[in-house]
Amino acid sequence: MSEKSSKTVDIKSSWDRTLSVLRAELGEATFRSWFKHIEFGELSEKKLLLYVPTKFMKDWIHTHYSDRILAILKNDNIPVSSIIFELQKFKVSKDSEDSNAQKTVKNSKPAASSKFVTNENGDHNSMLGAPLDPNLSFENFVVGGSNELAYAAAKRITEVENVSFNPLFLYGGVGLGKTHLMHAMALEIKKNWPERKVLYLSAEKFMYQFIKALRFKDTMSFKQQFRSVDVLMVDDIQFIAGKDSTQEEFFHTFNTLIDHNHQVVISADRSPVDLDGIEERIRSRLGWGLVTDIHASDYELRLGVLQTKAKKHIEDNPEIIIKDNILEFLAQRIDSNIRVLEGALNRVIAYSSFVKKPLTIEMAQDVLKDLIRASQRRITIDDIQRKVADYYNIRLSDLLSARRSRTIARPRQVAMYLSKLLTTRSLPEIGRKFGGRDHTTVIHAVKRIESLQDSDAAIQEEVDILSRALES
């Protein structure tokens, strides 16, 4: 062995020992997040070259861990004065492809690798993602005060190749239009730029594809496919909560795309900071771009949606007569979400068609009595605030004030907890209803009451009494 080769071996061995020290000091989770994917380069003129997969990791490790790495190496008598981080160029070599092919033949699984290839026309979505619904277009999306910012951001992404915000994070309750906007974006981008690779899928399908790649030992093809798209859209990201391996792969995929200025669009049922079970590093990155919520729909928006859907029904079947008062009735009485509202319209039209009778308000009331009854039972934050104030014998104004005395603070926390438990309102909305407080205050209140219920039977009883009173 030459002297140069011997030195290389010594340095590489020292680097391996450095990694072992870091693993012991930082713990397995932190080590996997930042050091697992580092590749040793070389030591030249006292400068250590290391390769990292993303610019984000490069900056983070350089800022937070460079000094510690240098100290460990120097303690091992390695003559190093500085560390240079360079980005890896992701590729699948021919050797790697041949190796995968040999493994495939050996394991008698000839179709494994083919699961992760793009089809002939370059449509990523057809192989990896979920199918796009042509009906979920911008033309069919009704804009109102509750969704206008989300709509404007979505449209902007389809109009220019590079926007100032990346990622775009959409959040809101069920049936408010998040999925519709994502389908609309994908359809519009494919129309404006046919050559761009657009991939839309649910977080569950991302996890499924990743697990399949692991099962077939084809993770390199998986990485190549997901990290080569121009636009990645992942719906309902909250479903990967607690899935550590999937989160790690998503984290690196996300970073690679962002570092290469490829657009990422994410949706969830709550804001990034409120995503329980999602690693802090992911939540932090999700909030770096534009975060916008879609509120519960107001009367005008609901009516607009119904008018659009009614027009489509009439175009498909000119014999249908849908009077304005029917649409106004539905918009007024059913306010849960847009998806339920559209379903209600479909139900009354179908019933009218089946029994061959004109569509009237009386008919709508009878056909939709279950939905109307459920809507009437809906608990509001105002209801909760009044009930809590009465129960604790305090003024409603005190509950919404800045006072922090225990006699006011505890009932306020209970009211916030019940608002989160019994309504579909987002944390920012709840905070605004309590004197313009921040969503973090609501989070603290919820966690505080949850904790107290485990240790204080009196609090548990108070919450139970209030819950039953509100739901009766």
Asked whether 219 and 148 are in contact (CB, 8 A), the reply is no
- CA–CA dist 313, 311 (Å, integer): 5
Tell me which fold the domain 381-471 belongs to. Answer: Chromosomal Replication Initiator Protein Dnaa; Chain: A; (1.10.1750)
- Per-residue pLDDT, 443: 92
- Per-residue pLDDT, 154: 94
- Per-residue pLDDT, 93: 38
Tell me which fold the domain 3-87 belongs to. Answer: GMP Synthetase; Chain A, domain 3 (3.30.300)
**Two structure tokens written together for 208:** 């499924």
The answer to whether domain 113-294 and domain 299-376 are alike in fold is no
Residue with tokens 């605004």: 432
Per-residue pLDDT of the chain (472 residues; tens, 9 = 90+): 444 444 555 788 888 888 888 888 877 767 777 787 788 888 888 888 888 877 767 777 887 788 888 888 888 888 888 888 888 754 443 343 444 434 433 343 333 333 333 333 345 554 567 788 888 999 888 888 888 899 999 999 999 888 888 899 999 887 888 999 999 999 999 999 988 999 999 998 899 888 988 888 878 888 888 888 899 999 999 989 888 889 999 999 998 898 888 999 999 988 898 888 899 989 988 988 899 988 877 788 888 889 988 988 888 888 888 888 889 888 888 876 788 888 889 999 988 888 888 888 888 888 888 777 766 556 788 889 989 999 999 988 888 888 888 889 999 999 999 998 888 788 888 998 898 898 999 999 999 998 898 888 888 889 888 987 876 6
Give the SS3 label for residue 141: coil
Q: Is the peptide bond before 167 cis (omega within 30 degrees of 0)?
A: yes
Name the residue ranges covered by the structural domains of the chain.
3-87, 113-294, 299-376, 381-471
Tell me the chain's radius of gyration from C-alpha atoms.
Answer: 28
388 contact partners, CB below 8 Å, separation of at least 6 = 399, 411, 414, 415, 418, 466
- CA–CA dist 255, 86 (Å, integer): 15
- CA–CA dist 110, 414 (Å, integer): 59
Give the SS3 label for residue 37: coil
- Per-residue pLDDT, 89: 58
Q: Extract the runs of DSSP E, i.e. beta strands, from 337-383.
A: none
Asked whether 245 and 210 are in contact (CB, 8 A), the reply is yes
CB atoms within 10 A of CB 80: 18
Tell me which fold the domain 113-294 belongs to. Answer: Rossmann fold (3.40.50)
Asked whether 23 and 31 are in contact (CB, 8 A), the reply is yes
- Per-residue pLDDT, 7: 53
CATH annotation of 299-376 = 1.10.8.60
- CA–CA dist 331, 120 (Å, integer): 46
Residue with tokens 């790697």: 96
